[in-house]
Structure 1
Amino acid sequence: MTKIYHARISTEVCVDKLWGMSRLGDGDKVNRMAMTEDRINPLSKALRACRKHLIGVAWFSALVNVLYFTPVIYMMQVYERAIPTRGYETLFYLTLIAVVAFLVMGVFETLRQRVVARIGLRLDRWLAEATALREFAARNQGKHFAGGRSLDVFRNAITGPGVIAAFDAPWAPLFIGVVFIIHASIGWFVLVGALVLIGVSVIAQSRMFRDQIAADEAAAKANGRLEAAAQAAGATRALGMWSALAARQAEDRERSARLAFETNMRNAGLSALSKGIRLALQSGVIGLGAYLAIDRQISPAAVFAASILGARALQPIDGLIASWRSIVQGLAAYRKLGELFSLADPNQRGTPLPPPEASLEVEQLVVQAPNDRGVVIKNVSFKIRPGEIVALIGPSGAGKSTLAQAIVGAMRAESGVVRIDGADVAQWPSDELGRQVGYLPQDNALIEGTIADNISRFRRWNNETMEALGPRLLEAAKATGAHDLILRLSDGYDTVIGQNGRGLSGGQAQRIALARAFFDQPPILVLDEPNAHLDTDGERALTRALSLHRERNGSALVIAQRTAILSVCDRVILMVDGKIAADGTLDQILEFTGLRPSGVETAKPVGALRASPKSKQNDLSHEAVDQSSEIESAS
């Protein structure tokens, strides 16, 4: 079971407690239930959860910066007390105190770095699950936020050196103020120099911000295209597309690399300029201090003290400039995460609904194709009662798979409602809806992992033990005829498969996906071409499983392209061009299309349904017809 640790922070000055704050212990756990119950605005919640850590960093920064006066005080005392009086004992004790102060400063600096690192760990643990859920929801709506990468970039930015420089920056006025105390001329020199350094960086970074975002977006697009092409590597190799896709990838990378190069060149130039200005200012402080010392306005020790304090005042500014690229990327990632978390939590719970009785109703459903390529589903309405198995047939491109995706929530509908026992599916949390509806997509959608995890829908990560899951996943596998074939695999149920069932045959992958759909006996099944890759034994097992499902008073919508599955169905819906063309018993549909019932037992594609003259008059001719083949009569 995955452990989630809760970082406790303490601001006591006792070193052992401060050290304990920056460590990760077994007793440092988060109440996972509290996290999952309240998921509203997780980004703000995560930042609030890091508030104590940030306060701790601020305290450590204060202590480190106060202790930074140690070399100044030590130098002043040595030059003005120990050397003029030849006080060896004074020098010894001053040196001892300075060494202890430096050691303490080193401890505080280490603790500060560790607490900053803990902030990143805590952010990741609070946001990783919520980011994945929102990313799933975004992909389901056709959006792409790359939430995982944005979280990584934001975490790296908030735990990078730029954050330390940001906490040190408020102390710069104090150091400049002490320089003013040493001598006003040096103070004004350092203050003006700091303002010049800030002004140069602001002017340069205003353009770099836009360029960096453009470069990151171009890189994300190139990586997305590469990932999509790599997933279809087998098919594209067979089609001889590798060289063309590699050339397109090179062109995408060239565009993103050019933008990144230009941004890096500007950043390098700015860093070099800021470093040159800072070194010039430090040298100028020494030169101006030397002039004032020659004029006997300050002591020689004050020259070095002013130089150290001036350098310390400018150091945070220089650190922020050096980390500006990371800061810009972090701000952009924060903005993307904000947009991602503005989406509704798919598992946000409202009033609990009773377990459904397997009634499924579709009312005036309209579904738009991705990228506004027209309407796929056009005002479709039908109802499936408990204990009823309904087949959905029609030619390729009729919208059957799209309708199935809209019913289970895998695709967003433009209008209309899908109801389960009268309740809109939007009222069901995503995970809870998945427990009530068993779905088999056309492409199986198996996830990289073991077969047992796939069938059990990775419930182990929802705090369910394999002891509890084992009997249920075995039941689902046996019901769909997958058990025996799984046992014949090298590691049985512990066999690791790749994405989309890589490593399995089409029939094996489909049986395992079927077992996943039947897992935990959901009252409603939506199966998209469940027998497309099954042999005769597999189809028999599927028919038995559907019959048993009906006996339990469950309902099912089965998309069929092979007619053997129709024998177990109570009703058949014929879909053409995104609309329901006919709805009735199998005999009624065959009569409607001009086919004789005696041809039902063949396993030819339903796409072979040929329209009769009667149906042609109803504009079903070329839409429902595959002119190349038809179901033959048994006579």
Structure 2
Amino acid sequence: MKIVLGDIPKPFDNALTACRSYFWLAAFFSALVNILYLAPTIYMMQVYDRVVPTSGVLTLLWLTVLVCIALATLAALDAMRSRIMTRAALRLDNLLAGEILDRLMIRKRLTPGEPSTAQAMRDFDALRTALAGPAAIALMDVPWTPIYLIVAFMIHPLLGGLIIVGGCVLTGLALANASSTRKGARESHRATANAHAAHDAAVGMSEVVRALGMRRAMVARQLETRTQALEGGVEAQLTGSRYTAFVKFSRMALQSLALGAAAWLAVSGQISVGAIIAGSVLLSRALQPIEQTVGVWPTIVQARQALGVLKTLLTNTEPLVRDTLILPPPEGYVELANVSVRNPEGTAFLLHSVSLWLVPGDILGVIGPSGAGKSTLSRVVAGALAPDGGHIRIDEASYADWDPEALARHIGYLPQDSSLMAGTISENISRFAGDLDGDQEAIDRKVVAAAEMAGAHQMILHLPGGYNAMLDAGGKGLSGGQAQRIALARALYGDPRILILDEPSAALDAEGELALRNAMDAAKARGAAILIVAHRSSVLRNVDRLAVLNSGTIERQGPQADIRAALAAVGAGDNVVNMKPR
């Protein structure tokens, strides 16, 4: 299998090694199956050479019983082989699906060439199907072709020679098929992945699409994208179908040629009459695995492409899964030193040489015009986005020195959109801690405490189902303010030492904004370091320091009173939204 797929990344190599017993057992059954495929050939030879000349009815009866037993055993072994490969597929899924999902989620940015989550899992399913499906079984049958070749040579060298010629012809066609379809299949695979991503994004925004009357336009656009994606695949399939037809024609022509050659040998007295049919059957069976391999070659090509995509993912994320030392809980001192972040294309800076610090028991407010980089800054401080340059330290230790999961337990992050996930309200607030087999009673206590701190406890109790109310992805079914307050409770879960709030009041009413300010005061009182990005001056009343961000750089920072005085002096005042870029 490694010969067919090429260079295999370490996690896949380990998984294949763990499944080695399945593949060896399937290969052993393949040997028995291919040996038993000789039974019909032997039966034909015996019937024509022994039964017919002697009218041996009893011999015919026993031969028929024996061949039926052989064929029943063959069918049972073939079924067992399929079951074994199915078990191997399940084993591969158990070993690799979690690893791939973990690598997808551990990425702090999507680098060029890496797949989306949906694409990666589709590629993995394609690879798993190839490794443990009909393609693998066809490849397991190919090595046993010499069995039929040896038996054919035992009957007569001419028949064996025909099998060799036929094998060379079919192998040449298979290689030509692989060469001619490789480029088109690769481009089709990439285009199809992009089309699926575009379809998912469009369907995910279907409410906005309907409200703005863009439904037909988006359908037309998606159909055009789908057509472009299918063109390369269709061309590859048409090319492959031509080669498949050539292979089938060649095999049938060679089979007929073998029958004619055997008849000529029988007429000249070099072989028996029974060997005429046997020779044709042997050639057909010897070439069948090669023909099957040509038929499943698109699956093999797709598996190689999928492996290439997954290899890029696994290679790029390998440094992120190293073992880290368990550090003590942080006090909450955070320092950003000359932090820079580029846009995904790498053509411009979203943040450039940003330096600031967070102090326990202190609130830092970040203000600036739209597009200044405030949300990017909050993502970097929260550990959601890795910077391209500079350093981020917490209590003198680099973020990179921490296990990401361990560090995240000490950080509360509220993004601009609530980013609630499918599950109950309680599960969302607890960050799905119950799925890790934690103490459910302790989790429930912390969930209620976080909701009370966010001022959301009574609101949740009045919802149908309360804390057990089931939410759809994105918090559908809740108002924007309700989703924002539940997301705030999630950020406060577990009393994190660092609290990052990105536009937390955007969807809140006066009551929700009051609850937000109270939650910030409570977090400050227990010694949490807080960073808040906001446009509303009312939310920034109780901040200790202000940082003004403009065009990705810090223009000024310091005590709130000093910064407001400086802004008033240049005419910006509280209207930070309309600050003019330098």
Q: Output the TM-score relative to the length of structure 1.
A: 0.85
Counterpart amino acid of 1:458?
A: F
1:370 aligns with 344
Q: Residue in 1 aligned with 2:580?
A: 622
Matched, 1:247 2:205: no
Deviation at 1:319, TM superposition (A): 0.4
* 1:561 corresponding residue in structure 2: 535
Task: Return the alpha-carbon distance in structure 1 between the equivalents of residues 576 and 568 of structure 2.
Answer: 13
**After TM superposition, what 4+ stretches of structure 1 lie above 6 angstroms from structure 2?**
none
| 1:148 paired residue number | 121
> Is the partner of 1:564 in helix, strand or coil?
coil
Partner of 2:503: 529
Tell me which of 469, 478, 483 is aligned to 2:443. Answer: 469
Q: Is structure 2 residue 302 aligned with structure 1 residue 333? A: no
Report the CA distance shift for 1:203/1:347 in structure 2 as closer, same or farther (over 3 A): closer
Asked if the contact 1:41–1:342 (Cα under 8 Å) also holds between the matched residues in 2, the reply is no
Amino acid at match of 1:263: A
In the superposition, relative to structure 1, how do residues 528 and 142 fare at CA in structure 2: closer, same or farther (>3 Å)? Answer: farther
1:540 alignment counterpart? 514
Any conservation in 1 of the 2:108–2:384 contact (CA below 8 Å)? no
- Equivalent residue in structure 2 for 1:290, among 263, 266, 277: 263
**SS of aligned partner of 1:594:** helix
1:122 corresponds to: 91
The superposition leaves residues 336-380 of structure 1 with CA deviations (integer Å, 9 ceiling, x where unpaired) of 111111122545422211111111111110111222341121111
Equivalent in the alignment of 1:57: 26
Give 1:292 deviation, angstroms: 0.7
Equivalent in the alignment of 1:29: none
8 Å contact from structure 1 (residues 368, 374) kept in 2: yes
Amino acid at match of 2:333: S
Task: Give distance in 2, aligned partners of 1:192 and 1:526.
Answer: 72
- Residues in 2 aligned to 1:486 and 1:360: alpha-carbon distance in whole angstroms: 33
Given residue 59 of structure 2, which amino acid in structure 1 is its aligned partner?
Answer: T
Following superposition of structure 1 onto structure 2, how do residues 92-131 of structure 1 map, counting pairs within 5 Å?
A: 92-131=61-100
Q: How many Å separate the matches in 1 of 2:567 and 2:210?
A: 41
Matches within 5 A, 1:534-613: 534-594=508-568, 606-607=576-577
Report 1:316-331 matches (<5 A). Answer: 316-331=289-304
Preserved CA contact (<8 Å) 1:43 1:338:
no
Whole-angstrom CA distance in 1 between matches of 2:14 and 2:433: 26
Tell me, in whole angstroms, the C-alpha distance in 2 between the residues paired with 1:465 and 1:206.
57
Listed as ranges, the matches of 1:448-467 within 5 Å are 448-464=422-438, 466-467=440-441
Matches within 5 A, 1:348-497: 348-464=322-438, 466-497=440-471
For the pair 1:501 / 2:475, whether they are aligned, the reply is yes
**What's the CA shift string for 1:576-599, capped at 9, x where partnerless?**
222222222221111111179xx9
Hey, what's the Cα distance between the residues in 1 that align with 2:383 and 2:210? 33
Alignment-mate amino acid for residue 441 of structure 1: P
**Is 1:43–1:341's contact at 8 Å kept on the other side of the alignment?**
no
**Equivalent residue, structure 1, for 2:243:** 270
Shift of 1:229: 2.3
Cα distance, 1:563 vs structure 2:
1.6
Question: Hey, what's the Cα distance between the residues in 1 that align with 2:509 and 2:575?
Answer: 14
Task: Give CA deviations for 1:65-85 in whole Å, capped at 9, x if unaligned.
Answer: 112222222233333334444
Whole-angstrom distance in 2 between the partners of 1:455 and 1:266: 54
Query: Which structure has more RCO (C-alpha within 8 Å, separation ≥ 6)?
Result: 2
Paired residue for 1:5?
none
CA distance in 2, matches of 1:459, 1:182: 70
Higher deviation after alignment, 463-472 or 388-397? 463-472
| Worse-matched range after superposition: 287-296 or 99-108 | 99-108
Kindly report which structure 2 residues correspond to 1:336-347, keeping only aligned pairs within 5 A, or say none: 336-345=309-318, 346-347=320-321
Which residue matches 2:4? Answer: none
Of 367-376 and 306-315, more deviation after overlay is shown by 367-376
CA–CA separation in structure 2 for the residues paired with 1:474 and 1:563 = 30
**Equivalent residue pairs, number:** 568
Higher alpha-carbon deviation: 69-78 or 434-443: 69-78
Aligned to 2:149: 176
1:219 partner SS: helix
Cα distance, 1:137–1:459 mapped onto 2, change above 3 Å: same
Specify the code of the residue in structure 2 equivalent to 1:199: G
- Please list the CA deviations of residues 121-180 of structure 1 after superposition, one character each: whole Å capped at 9, or x if unmatched: 111111111111222244723454121111011112223312111000000122112111
The structure-2 alpha-carbon separation of the partners of 1:605 and 1:462, relative to structure 1 and needing over 3 Å to count, comes to farther
Structure 2 CA distance for aligned equivalents of residues 45 and 463 of structure 1: 27
The residue aligned with 1:19 is: none
Deviations 1:464-506 (A, max 9, x none): 3544422221211121012222222222222222222222111
Letter in 2 for 1:294: V
- Does the Cα contact within 8 Å between 1:439 and 1:525 map onto a contact in 2? yes
Q: Distance in 2 between matches of 1:569 and 1:195?
A: 79
State the superposition RMSD in angstroms: 2.2
Q: Secondary structure at the match of 2:504?
A: coil
Residue in 2 that maps onto 1:47: 16
Q: Quick one: structure 1 residues 258 and 272, their matched pair in 2 at CA, closer, same or farther if it must change by over 3 Å? A: same
How far, CA to CA, are the matches of 2:442 and 2:66 in structure 1?
64
Aligned counterpart for 1:75 among listed residues 44, 49, 54: 44
Separation in 2, partners of 1:325, 1:516 = 47
- Residue-by-residue CA offset, 1:370-407 (whole Å, 9 max, x unaligned): 22341121111112122222111122222111111122
**Contact kept? 2:325, 2:402, Cα under 8 Å:** no
Classify the secondary structure of the residue corresponding to 2:541.
Answer: helix
Equivalent AA in structure 1 for residue 389 of structure 2? S
Query: Equivalents in 1 of 2:109, 2:346: separation in Å?
Result: 15
Q: Indicate if the aligned counterparts of 1:376 and 1:402 stay in contact, CA closer than 8 A.
A: yes
In the alignment, which residue of structure 1 is the partner of 2:183? 210
CA distance in 1, matches of 2:143, 2:81: 16
Structure 2 residue matching 1:567: 3-state secondary structure: coil
Q: Identity over the aligned pairs, expressed in percent?
A: 38
1:101 maps to a residue whose letter is A
Q: Is the 8 A contact 1:76 1:305 kept in 2?
A: yes
Question: Secondary structure of 1:45's match?
Answer: helix
Contact 1:120 1:156 in 2 (8 A): yes
Q: Quote the Cα distance in structure 1 between the aligned partners of 2:62 and 2:47.
A: 11
- In 2: Cα distance, 1:409 partner to 1:548 partner: 23
- Write the distance in 1 (CA, Å) between the matches of 2:244 and 2:254: 15
Preserved contact between residue 108 and residue 386 of structure 2 (Cα < 8 Å):
no
In 2, the alpha carbon distance for the partners of 1:419 and 1:455 equals 27
TM-score with structure 2 setting the length? 0.93
C-alpha contact (below 8 Å) 1:438/1:526 kept by paired residues? yes
2-structure distance, mates of 1:213, 1:142: 19
Distance in 1, matches of 2:317 and 2:303, equals: 23
Shift of 1:119: 1.6
Say whether the 8 Å CA contact 2:174–2:294 is kept in structure 1.
Answer: yes
- Counterpart Cα distance in 2 of 1:58 and 1:519: 53
Alpha-carbon distance in 2 for matches of 1:414, 1:176: 61
1:605 Cα deviation from its structure 2 partner: 6.2
2:6 matched to which residue of 1?
none
- Distance in 2, Cα, partners of 1:395 & 1:162: 57
Query: Could you say which residue in structure 2 is the equivalent of 1:260?
Result: 233
For structure 1, the residue ranges without an aligned partner over 5 or more in a row are 1-39, 609-620, 625-635
